[in-house]
C-alpha cells in the first residue's frame, strides 16, 4: 500500500467503520477517539484530528490520534488562525508537504506537532459552511495525491453530517457547537419586494439527510446517478420543447444553457468519482456542489459567479430527480419562505406560487432576476442578508419584512404577533384598494387622472387586471434581457411584445427600449471593459446608438408585434436632442424596412423620450416639438440632479425628492409640456407613493404610471383630493428654502383630508 493511501480505492470500508464506531453505545468522546484512530490507520497517517467550531467561531480540538491527548479541548484556534483556521475560513481542503514552512502555520507547543511535516485538512461542510476541520498529518514531507484529497473530503462530509445530526455527540456536548443556530436573530438586508410574510424555511439548496450519505451498494448508486442524469436532461429537454413563454418567452435560452451544463464532462466525471468513493448519489451531488461553491466563492467576476449559480441550480434539479420529484414539484409546506443564496431567472417561477409566502436571499440586488420576478409575483422579498444560509435550517420559522428590509430568524412570539397585526392592517388596506379597482381615477374636484402601471415581465400582466390600472405607462423591456442567459432573439422579443399588447387589449402600452449597460451588465453582451462610473456610463440609449443593430432588432420586434394597432415607444436616458433625433431615425429606418417588405405597420405610432437627464430641462423647447410624448423617470432624474447614486445605500437617501429644487424641476417640465401640448407622464417610483403622487397632481400632472403595488393607494389618494385648494398651498411651499418640504406637504394633505 502506498504511503498514506487507503487500502482499497475509495474510503468505503472506512466510512462503514466510522458509522459502526459512531453507532456504538460508549461515551461520545470514546467514539470520537475511535473515529480518529481508524481514519489515521486507514490513511496511514501518524496524526488524525477533528476540530469543531464553537459558537464563538473558535475551532477546538475535539479528538486526536497522534497529537498529545492533553491538548484535546484545550487547543483552540481563532477563525482564520493557523492552517486549520485557514481550511475553515476558505471552506476548501489544504494539502501541504511541509506545513511548518507555510506562512499560516501556527505552532502550538501543547499539541507536540513539531515533527509532522505533511498536512492534509478538509473542512466539515454543512450547506457550504465549515462547522469543523478534519486533519491528517505525516512525519515525512510527502505529497497527498488527488485521490487522498478526494477521500478526506468524503470522510469530512460524512463526519459533518453525523456531528450535525447529533449522532456522534450528544446534545450536551453539542450545546455550544455551531451546527444549527437556534437563537432568535434579526438580519438587516435590503427590501427587494415589499410586503410582509412569515412561515417556515424551505432551503432552495436542500441538504441531503445524513442517513442517506453512505452507499449500501456502490453499483446501485452508480446506476441511480446515471439514470438521474439522463432524467435531468430529459426534463430540461421537455421544458425546452414545451415550456416556452412561461418566463416572458425566455426560459428557452436559460434552459438551453442548462442543457449544455448538464452535458459538461467535468461535472459528470466529478459526480461519478464521488459515488465511487462510497457515497450515495445524493451525497455525491452534495459533495460536488460544496466543492464548486468553495472554488467559485472566491471569484469576484460576476460571470464566474453566474456559472457557479448554474451548477448549483443543476445540482438542485438533480437532487429533485433523485428524490423522485420532477423539478418544480417539490413538496412544500403551505407557508414556505424560500431561502437561497441567490436565485436564477427561472427558479422562482418553478415553485408553486400559492405556497411561497416570502423570499429571503443572501445575495442578489434589487435589480436582480429574482427580485424582479418576486415583485412581479408580489412575493415579499428581502435580499443582501449576510450569512443568512449559515444561520438557518430547513423548517425554521422566519419573518420576511419587505417594508424595512429585515429578516427575523426564529422570532419570539411577541415579535411574531407584532408582525401578524401589521399584516392584518395591510390586508385590510389591500381589500379597500381592490374595491376601487373599477372606479375611475377622478379627483374630488372632478379632474380626470390617467393612472397606469409599470411592468416588465409576462407575469406582470396579471397585475394589470388586478390593480385596475388603465394601461402600462412603462414597460421595461430590458427585464426580458436580464432574465435571459443569452440575447433574446427577434422572435422571442416579438412574442413577448405581442403577448403584452394582446393582454392589454384596448389599454395603451408604452414600451421603453432597452435600458441596459452601466451596472446592468448582460454577461452575453460584449461591451467594452468595465466602467468607473456605471451610472454615468454607456447606458440605455447610449448603448443603443452605439450598437444600432441591437436597437433596430428591438424596434423591428416592436413594429412587428404592433402591426395594425397602436405602438407607443420611448427611449431612456436621452441627454441631448441629437440622441433623440438619431433614435427616432432608427424607428423611421425600421418602418421603411418593413414597408419595403410589404409588412403591415402599426396603425398608430407614437415616439417619446424619457426625461431622466437634467440637461434636457434647458432644452425642452428643442426637444418637445420632436416628440409625441415624454415621460419623466424621476428615479434617474433625481439621482443625476442630486449627484447621488440610486443604487448606493450610503447616498441614495441623502436628498428628498419632496424638495423645492426637485419639485420646481418637475413643475418646469409640466409647464413646458402644457405650453406645447405634449402629453407628459411621471413613471418613476415616486408616482406610486400617495404623498409624492399628491405633490405631482398639485403641480399639474394628470398622467402617472406607478408600480403595481402603488396603483391602489394612489387611486385612493386621487379620489379624495381637491386639487384646486391643494395647488395654492403647493405654490407657497415651492418658495421654501428648506431641503425638504415633506412635513409641510403632509400637513397640507391632512388639512385637505387627502388620503395619503
Ligand atoms: C426612472 O429612472 O425613473 C425610470 C422609470 O426608469 P428606471 O427606474 O427603469 O431606470
Ligand atoms: Mg430610468
pLDDT per residue over 329-388, tens digit each?
Answer: 667 899 999 998 878 656 787 788 889 999 999 887 776 667 877 887 889 999 999 888
Q: What separation in Å is there between the alpha carbon of 192 and the centre of ligand 1?
A: 16
Q: pLDDT tier at 445 (50, 70, 90 boundaries)? A: very high
Provide the mean pLDDT of the chain.
86
For 105, list phi and psi in degrees, rounded to 5.
-60, 130
Q: What separation in Å is there between the alpha carbon of 716 and the centre of ligand 1?
A: 24
Mean pLDDT, residues 653-677? 96
Q: What separation in Å is there between the alpha carbon of 479 and the centre of ligand 1?
A: 12
Q: What separation in Å is there between the alpha carbon of 245 and the centre of ligand 2?
A: 26
For 573, list phi and psi in degrees, rounded to 5.
60, 30
| Atom number, ligand 1, closest to the C-alpha of residue 631 | 5
398 with 420, same domain: the answer is yes
Q: Is 369 a catalytic residue?
A: yes
Q: How many residues does the chain have?
A: 756
| Atom number, ligand 1, closest to the C-alpha of residue 454 | 5
Ligand 1 site, residue 678, Cβ cutoff 6 A: no
HSE of 746, CA atoms in CB hemisphere, 13 A: 5
The answer to whether residue 170 is domain-embedded is: no
Mutation choice for ligand 1 from 537, 540, 570, 610, CB with most ligand atoms inside 8 A: 610
Higher pLDDT, 218 or 339: 339
431 with 419, same domain: the answer is no
Ligand 1 site, residue 684, Cβ cutoff 6 A: yes
Higher pLDDT, 364 or 515: 515
| Atom number, ligand 1, closest to the C-alpha of residue 684 | 3
Ligand 1 site, residue 474, Cβ cutoff 6 A: yes
Ligand 1 site, residue 478, Cβ cutoff 6 A: no
For ligand 1, atom 1, which residue shows the shortest CA distance?
633
Ligand 1 site, residue 633, Cβ cutoff 6 A: yes
Least confident of 7-16, 66-75, 253-262: 7-16
**Ligand at shortest distance from the CA of 573:** 2
Ligand 1 site, residue 36, Cβ cutoff 6 A: no
pLDDT of residue 16: 78
The answer to whether residue 286 is domain-embedded is: yes
475 with 374, same domain: the answer is no
pLDDT of residue 521: 67
The answer to whether residue 616 is domain-embedded is: yes
The answer to whether residue 176 is domain-embedded is: no
By percentage, how much of the chain surpasses pLDDT 90? 55
Q: What separation in Å is there between the alpha carbon of 388 and the centre of ligand 1?
A: 30
Encode pLDDT of 541-550 as tens digits. 999 999 999 9
For 622, list phi and psi in degrees, rounded to 5.
-85, -35
Instruction: Please tell me the distance from the alpha carbon of residue 516 to that of residue 249, in angstroms, as a whole number.
Output: 19
Domain extent at residue 468: 426-751
Q: What separation in Å is there between the alpha carbon of 61 and the centre of ligand 2?
A: 55
Mean pLDDT, residues 401-418? 95
144 with 190, same domain: the answer is no
The secondary structure of 293-359, three-state, reads HHHHHCCCCHHHHHHHHHHHHHHHHHHHHHCCCCCCCCCCCCCEEEEECCCCCCHHHHCCHHHEEEE
By percentage, how much of the chain surpasses pLDDT 70? 87
CATH code of the domain covering residue 726:
3.20.20.60
Produce one character per residue of 62-98: b if its CB has 16 or more CB atoms within 10 Å, e if not: bbbbbbbeebbeebebeeebbbbbbbbbebbbbbbbe
Instruction: Please tell me the distance from the alpha carbon of residue 641 to that of residue 671, in angstroms, as a whole number.
Output: 19
Count of CB atoms situated within 10 Å of the CB of 187: 20
Under DSSP, the state recorded for 167 is S
Count of CB atoms situated within 10 Å of the CB of 535: 17
Q: pLDDT tier at 528 (50, 70, 90 boundaries)? A: low
The secondary structure of 382-442, three-state, reads EECCCCCHHHCCCCCEEEEECCCCEEEECCCHHHHHHHHHHHHHHHHHHHHHHHCCCCCCE
Encode pLDDT of 286-324 as tens digits. 888 877 776 666 666 666 666 666 777 788 788 878 877
Beta bridge partners of 490: none
Q: What separation in Å is there between the alpha carbon of 195 and the centre of ligand 1?
A: 21
Q: Residue 548 in contact with residue 488, Cβ under 8 Å? A: no
CATH code of the domain covering residue 76:
3.30.450.40
| Atom number, ligand 1, closest to the C-alpha of residue 572 | 6
Mutation choice for ligand 1 from 637, 684, 688, 710, CB with most ligand atoms inside 8 A: 684
pLDDT of residue 259: 74
370 with 509, same domain: the answer is no
432 with 420, same domain: the answer is no
Produce one character per residue of 423-445: b if its CB has 16 or more CB atoms within 10 Å, e if not: beeeeeeeeebeebeeeebebbe
Judge whether residue 7 has pLDDT over 50.
Answer: no
The answer to whether residue 46 is domain-embedded is: yes
Q: Residue 72 in contact with residue 47, Cβ under 8 Å? A: no
Q: Which of 396, 424, 452 is the last residue of a domain?
A: 424
For ligand 1, atom 8, which residue shows the shortest CA distance?
635
Q: Which of 133, 165, 197 is the last residue of a domain?
A: 165
Q: Residue 148 in contact with residue 43, Cβ under 8 Å? A: yes
Element (H, E) at 192: strand 190-193
Mean pLDDT, residues 129-133? 84
For ligand 1, atom 9, which residue shows the shortest CA distance?
476
Judge whether residue 600 has pLDDT over 80.
Answer: yes
Q: pLDDT tier at 174 (50, 70, 90 boundaries)? A: low
Q: Where are the beta strands (DSSP E) in 214-310?
A: none
The answer to whether residue 136 is domain-embedded is: yes
Encode pLDDT of 695-722 as tens digits. 999 999 999 999 888 999 999 999 999 9
Point out the catalytic residue in the list 204, 369, 381, 673: 369
Judge whether residue 70 has pLDDT over 70.
Answer: yes
Instruction: Please tell me the distance from the alpha carbon of residue 618 to that of residue 162, in angstroms, as a whole number.
Output: 69
Instruction: Please tell me the distance from the alpha carbon of residue 101 to that of residue 104, in angstroms, as a whole number.
Output: 9
Count of CB atoms situated within 10 Å of the CB of 596: 8
Mean pLDDT, residues 16-23? 77
Under DSSP, the state recorded for 135 is E
pLDDT of residue 6: 40
pLDDT of residue 104: 85
Judge whether residue 328 has pLDDT over 60.
Answer: no
Instruction: Please tell me the distance from the alpha carbon of residue 731 to that of residue 715, in angstroms, as a whole number.
Output: 23
CA torsion angle 549 551 556 562 (round to 10): 180
576 with 473, same domain: the answer is yes
Sign of CA dihedral 258, 260, 262, 264: negative
Ligand 1 site, residue 634, Cβ cutoff 6 A: yes
The answer to whether residue 345 is domain-embedded is: yes
Higher pLDDT, 254 or 659: 659
pLDDT of residue 180: 60
Judge whether residue 424 has pLDDT over 60.
Answer: yes
HSE of 291, CA atoms in CB hemisphere, 13 A: 22
Instruction: Please tell me the distance from the alpha carbon of residue 602 to that of residue 567, in angstroms, as a whole number.
Output: 6
Q: How many domains is the chain partitioned into structurally?
A: 3
Q: Which of 390, 424, 458 is the last residue of a domain?
A: 424
For ligand 1, atom 6, which residue shows the shortest CA distance?
633
pLDDT of residue 250: 38
Q: Residue 365 in contact with residue 647, Cβ under 8 Å? A: yes
Q: Residue 487 in contact with residue 527, Cβ under 8 Å? A: no
pLDDT of residue 74: 93
204 with 150, same domain: the answer is no
83 with 229, same domain: the answer is no
Q: What separation in Å is there between the alpha carbon of 457 and the centre of ligand 2?
A: 17
Q: Is 117 a catalytic residue?
A: no
pLDDT of residue 327: 43
Instruction: Please tell me the distance from the alpha carbon of residue 328 to that of residue 205, in angstroms, as a whole number.
Output: 13
Q: pLDDT tier at 649 (50, 70, 90 boundaries)? A: low
Q: pLDDT tier at 5 (50, 70, 90 boundaries)? A: very low
Nearest to 615 by CA among 623, 606, 625, 605: 623
For ligand 1, atom 4, which residue shows the shortest CA distance?
633
Mean pLDDT, residues 562-591? 98
Judge whether residue 690 has pLDDT over 90.
Answer: yes
Nearest to 52 by CA among 70, 68, 36, 37: 36
Higher pLDDT, 17 or 435: 435
Q: What separation in Å is there between the alpha carbon of 634 and the centre of ligand 1?
A: 7
| 3-class DSSP assignment, residue 562 | coil
For ligand 1, atom 3, which residue shows the shortest CA distance?
633
257 with 400, same domain: the answer is yes
Instruction: Please tell me the distance from the alpha carbon of residue 729 to that of residue 724, in angstroms, as a whole number.
Output: 9
pLDDT of residue 349: 74
CATH code of the domain covering residue 377:
3.50.30.10
Ligand 1 site, residue 682, Cβ cutoff 6 A: no
306 with 341, same domain: the answer is yes
293 with 209, same domain: the answer is yes
- Backbone region of residue 244 per phi and psi (left: phi > 0; alpha: psi in -120 to 50; beta: other values): beta
Count of CB atoms situated within 10 Å of the CB of 619: 12
pLDDT of residue 498: 96
Q: Where are the beta strands (DSSP E) in 194-255?
A: 196-203
**Ligand at shortest distance from the CA of 684:** 1
> How remote is the C-alpha of 480 from its chain's centroid?
16
**Ligand at shortest distance from the CA of 520:** 1
The answer to whether residue 688 is domain-embedded is: yes
Instruction: Please tell me the distance from the alpha carbon of residue 489 to that of residue 745, in angstroms, as a whole number.
Output: 48
Instruction: Please tell me the distance from the alpha carbon of residue 508 to that of residue 568, in angstroms, as a whole number.
Output: 8
Instruction: Please tell me the distance from the alpha carbon of residue 89 to that of residue 99, in angstroms, as a whole number.
Output: 17
| Atom number, ligand 1, closest to the C-alpha of residue 633 | 3
Amino acid at each position: 500500500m502506498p504511503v498514506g493511501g487507503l487500502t482499497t480505492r475509495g474510503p468505503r470500508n472506512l466510512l462503514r467503520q466510522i458509522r459502526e464506531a459512531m453507532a456504538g453505545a460508549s461515551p461520545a468522546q470514546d467514539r470520537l477517539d475511535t473515529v480518529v484512530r481508524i481514519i489515521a490507520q486507514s490513511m496511514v497517517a501518524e496524526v488524525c484530528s477533528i476540530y469543531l467550531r464553537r459558537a464563538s467561531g473558535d475551532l477546538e480540538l475535539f479528538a486526536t490520534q497522534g497529537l498529545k491527548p492533553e491538548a484535546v479541548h484545550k487547543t483552540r484556534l481563532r477563525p482564520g488562525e493557523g492552517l486549520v483556521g485557514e481550511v475553515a475560513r476558505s471552506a476548501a481542503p489544504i494539502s501541504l508537504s511541509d506545513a511548518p514552512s507555510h506562512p499560516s502555520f501556527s505552532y502550538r507547543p501543547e499539541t507536540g506537532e513539531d515533527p509532522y511535516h505533511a498536512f492534509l485538512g478538509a473542512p466539515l461542510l454543512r450547506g457550504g459552511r465549515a462547522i469543523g476541520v478534519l486533519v491528517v498529518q505525516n512525519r515525512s514531507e510527502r505529497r497527498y495525491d488527488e485521490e487522498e484529497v478526494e477521500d478526506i473530503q468524503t470522510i469530512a462530509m460524512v463526519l459533518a453530517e453525523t456531528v450535525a445530526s447529533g449522532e456522534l455527540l450528544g446534545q450536551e456536548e453539542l450545546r455550544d457547537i455551531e451546527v444549527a443556530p437556534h437563537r432568535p436573530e434579526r438580519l438587516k438586508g435590503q427590501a427587494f419586494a415589499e410586503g410582509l410574510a412569515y412561515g417556515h424555511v424551505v432551503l432552495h439548496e436542500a441538504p441531503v439527510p445524513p442517513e442517506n450519505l453512505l452507499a449500501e451498494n456502490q453499483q446501485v448508486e452508480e446506476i441511480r446517478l446515471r439514470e438521474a442524469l439522463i432524467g435531468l436532461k430529459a426534463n430540461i429537454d421537455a421544458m425546452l420543447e414545451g415550456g416556452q413563454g412561461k418566463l416572458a418567452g425566455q426560459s428557452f435560452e436559460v434552459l438551453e444553457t442548462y442543457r449544455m451544463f448538464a452535458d459538461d464532462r467535468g461535472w459528470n466525471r466529478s459526480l461519478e468519482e464521488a459515488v465511487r468513493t462510497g457515497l450515495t448519489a445524493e451525497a455525491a451531488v452534495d459533495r460536488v456542489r460544496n466543492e464548486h461553491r468553495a472554488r467559485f466563492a472566491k471569484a469576484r467576476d460576476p460571470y464566474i459567479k453566474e456559472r457557479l449559480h448554474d451548477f448549483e441550480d443543476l445540482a438542485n434539479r438533480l437532487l429533485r430527480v433523485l428524490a423522485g420529484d420532477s423539478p418544480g414539484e417539490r413538496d412544500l409546506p403551505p407557508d414556505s419562505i424560500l431561502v437561497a443564496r441567490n436565485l436564477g431567472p427561472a427558479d422562482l417561477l418553478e415553485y408553486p406560487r400559492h405556497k411561497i409566502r416570502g423570499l429571503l436571499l443572501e445575495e442578489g440586488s434589487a435589480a436582480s432576476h429574482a427580485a424582479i420576478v418576486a415583485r412581479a409575483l408580489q412575493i415579499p422579498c428581502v435580499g443582501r442578508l449576510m450569512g443568512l444560509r449559515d444561520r438557518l435550517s430547513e423548517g425554521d420559522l422566519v419573518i420576511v419584512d419587505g417594508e424595512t428590509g429585515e429578516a427575523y430568524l426564529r422570532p419570539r412570539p411577541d415579535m411574531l404577533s407584532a408582525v401578524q397585526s401589521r399584516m392584518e392592517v395591510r390586508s385590510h388596506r389591500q381589500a379597500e384598494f381592490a374595491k376601487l379597482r373599477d372606479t375611475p381615477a377622478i379627483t374630488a374636484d372632478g379632474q380626470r387622472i390617467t393612472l397606469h402601471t409599470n411592468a416588465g415581465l409576462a407575469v406582470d400582466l396579471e397585475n394589470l387586471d388586478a390593480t385596475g390600472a388603465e394601461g402600462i405607462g412603462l414597460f421595461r423591456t430590458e427585464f426580458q434581457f436580464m432574465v435571459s442567459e443569452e440575447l433574446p432573439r427577434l422572435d422571442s422579443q416579438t412574442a413577448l411584445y405581442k403577448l403584452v399588447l394582446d393582454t392589454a387589449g384596448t389599454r395603451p402600452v408604452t414600451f421603453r427600449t432597452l435600458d441596459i449597460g452601466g451596472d446592468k451588465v448582460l454577461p452575453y453582451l460584449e461591451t467594452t471593459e468595465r466602467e468607473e462610473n456605471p451610472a454615468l456610463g454607456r447606458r440605455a440609449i447610449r448603448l443603443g446608438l452605439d450598437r444600432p443593430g441591437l436597437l433596430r432588432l428591438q424596434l423591428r420586434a416592436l413594429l412587428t408585434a404592433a402591426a395594425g394597432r397602436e405602438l407607443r415607444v420611448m427611449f431612456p436616458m436621452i441627454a441631448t436632442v441629437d440622441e433623440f433625433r438619431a433614435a427616432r431615425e432608427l424607428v423611421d429606418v425600421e418602418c421603411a424596412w418593413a414597408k419595403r417588405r410589404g409588412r403591415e405597420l402599426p396603425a398608430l405610432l407614437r415616439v417619446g423620450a424619457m426625461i431622466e437627464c437634467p440637461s434636457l430641462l434647458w432644452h425642452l423647447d428643442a426637444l418637445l416639438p420632436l416628440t409625441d410624448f415624454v415621460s419623466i423617470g424621476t428615479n434617474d432624474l433625481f439621482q443625476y440632479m442630486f449627484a447621488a447614486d440610486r443604487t448606493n445605500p450610503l447616498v441614495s437617501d441623502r436628498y428628498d425628492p419632496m424638495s423645492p429644487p426637485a419639485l420646481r424641476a418637475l413643475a418646469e417640465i409640466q409647464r413646458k409640456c402644457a405650453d406645447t401640448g405634449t402629453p407628459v407622464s411621471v413613471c418613476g417610483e415616486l408616482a406610486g407613493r400617495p404623498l409624492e403622487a399628491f405633490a405631482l397632481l398639485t403641480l399639474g400632472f394628470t398622467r402617472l404610471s406607478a408600480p403595481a403595488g402603488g396603483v391602489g393607494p394612489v387611486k385612493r389618494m386621487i379620489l379624495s383630493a381637491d386639487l384646486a385648494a391643494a395647488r395654492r398651498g403647493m405654490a407657497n411651499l415651492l418658495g421654501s428654502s428648506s431641503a425638504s418640504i415633506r412635513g409641510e406637504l403632509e400637513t397640507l394633505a391632512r388639512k385637505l383630508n387627502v388620503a395619503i
